[in-house]
Structure 1
Amino acid sequence: MDGSQGRIEDAPVEPAAVRRFLADNPEFLREDDGLLEELGLKLAAGNVVDFGPAAIARVHAAHQREAMQRQQLEEIARANFSAQAQTHGAVVDLLDARDHADLAARLDHLAQHRFGLAAGVIAVEGERAPDGWRSLVEGQVGMVLGDHGLARMGVLPIAHGLFGPQHGEIRSVALVRMAIWEPSQQGLLAFGSADPEGFTPDMGSELVAFLARVVERTAERWPVL
């Protein structure tokens, strides 16, 4: 008998059973002042259990969560606005380029001094690349981007060679495919960061892709000699 009772006491309490017990025995909760205090409850007039303290605590917690979420959204909005403003300023600088070499130099300068990155380069497939651009072998753009299509972001050691002497500083990259001139030559706009978390796969590539389109249109002003 004792062993049986021990097993019953050790059995887990089912929430449904507790609910049924309290519904059938409401005085159990109303008459236990210690339990009410532990639960943060108190009796109001008419023997109604007042959930005021517990409800207030829940409302306060919900308010704190909403405030944190609103703060996070505001921080994201400010960061996006800043990034867009920096990108628009970069576009103006790129459009002032005088030739291919100046365009590449401006892009690298923008990457370092406007965006705080390690480097920015323009690369194109083919036997000859304009001055200041990186030369790629045929098919290298597809090999670097893999199945990612138009853009790829994150830690990608295979792309570090694009940055020439600065490759040792690169820890993460943002790459966007380009198509320049007629007949079309495949190329890449590449930004490198010294921070492994500078570019991550879950980041949006819209602003980098926008800069790539600007570089494409600007580069087509001048013929490839």
Structure 2
Amino acid sequence: MSDTALNIEDLRERILSDPEMILDDRDLMKALIAANEKQLGNNIVDLRGIAMERLEARLDRLEDTHRSVIAAAYENLAGTNQVHRAILRLLDAAEFEDFLLSLRTDIAEHLRVDAVKLILESPQADTGSDGLTRLSDVLLVKPQGFVAEYSAVGRNGAPQRQVTLRQVADASDEVFGEAAGWVHSEALLRLDLGPGRLPGMLVMGAEDPHQFKPNQGTDLLTFFTGVFERAMRRWLS
């Protein structure tokens, strides 16, 4: 018996003893099915082959869905960790000035945004005092009604939400100052500062136009907003 015949016989014995070796190999199964269809001829409909193709397509879809779910889970976990780190930094602040300055440093870094502005409304919007001037790159005092007006831009009368995500072609100079030229998406976090106080808003700007989009979920940012509101009320009391 030739070496080729011996190899074939050896392969046959291995397959018979362990058929899963072929059944688990998708490429081998495809080749066997294709050979079987060729042997049947053009006038024979192989229902098993059709069923196999459909099951294979369904398996591919399930695998794609599985990968997408895993990727989304990792992304959500990463986002949760970012928000938690930002909240812990807020709670660490021992003074109000440190609390505000952390917005442009640690908080911006934890949340991976390029600009953060805190807007407070006042009947007399005056930023001339020394304290406010020193914090003017993070704290903006605006006239009453500014938050509602700014949040309504581009919404065409739609109800306003606590968290609004949107892409912007031209960011507001009034909010972002010199950074307006490279801010292409923003998150607006409306703040309820308690009874008898005018509303505020935390604005996060990103250079990436896809970082904040209207169709994204806002659960984590809504949670962050709630914590930030409570911290602000404590500082303002």
Do they superpose with TM above 0.5?
Answer: yes
Provide the C-alpha distance between the structure 1 equivalents of 2:120 and 2:39, rounded to a whole number of angstroms: 75
Which residue is equivalent to 2:198? 185
- Contact 2:86/2:111 (<8 A) preserved: no
- Contact 1:41/1:53 (<8 A) preserved: no
Provide the C-alpha distance between the structure 1 equivalents of 2:177 and 2:55, rounded to a whole number of angstroms: 57
Does residue 96 of structure 1 match 2:102? Answer: no
User: What does 1:42-57 align with in structure 2 at a 5 Å threshold?
Assistant: 49-57=45-53
Q: CA RMSD in A?
A: 2.6
Percent identity, aligned pairs only, is 24
Which residue is equivalent to 2:13? none
User: What does 1:191-210 align with in structure 2 at a 5 Å threshold?
Assistant: 191-210=204-223
Does residue 175 of structure 1 match 2:188? Answer: yes
Q: Tell me the alpha carbon deviations over residues 127-177 of structure 1, each in whole angstroms, 9 at most, x when there is no partner.
A: 357743111111111111124232221124464532233222211000011
Q: Tell me the alpha carbon deviations over residues 172-198 of structure 1, each in whole angstroms, 9 at most, x when there is no partner.
A: 000011021442221101111101111
Provide the C-alpha distance between the structure 2 equivalents of 1:201 and 1:102, rounded to a whole number of angstroms: 32
Does residue 138 of structure 1 match 2:144? Answer: yes
Larger Rg: 1
Which residue is equivalent to 1:26? none
Give the structure-2-normalised TM-score.
0.68
Deviates more, 1:156-165 or 1:63-72: 156-165
Provide the C-alpha distance between the structure 2 equivalents of 1:160 and 1:41, rounded to a whole number of angstroms: 70
SS at match of 1:192: strand
Give the structure-1-normalised TM-score.
0.72
Unpaired runs of 5+ residues, structure 2, are 1-33, 153-157
Provide the C-alpha distance between the structure 1 equivalents of 2:61 and 2:225, rounded to a whole number of angstroms: 39
- Contact 1:145/1:151 (<8 A) preserved: no
Provide the C-alpha distance between the structure 2 equivalents of 1:111 and 1:222, rounded to a whole number of angstroms: 17
Which residue is equivalent to 2:166? 154
Runs of 4+ in 1 over 6 A off after TM superposition: none
Which residue is equivalent to 1:119? 115
Provide the C-alpha distance between the structure 2 equivalents of 1:61 and 1:76, rounded to a whole number of angstroms: 23
- Contact 1:117/1:191 (<8 A) preserved: yes
Unpaired runs of 5+ residues, structure 1, are 1-36
AA at the equivalent of 1:154: R
Across the two proteins, how many residue pairs are aligned to each other?
A: 184
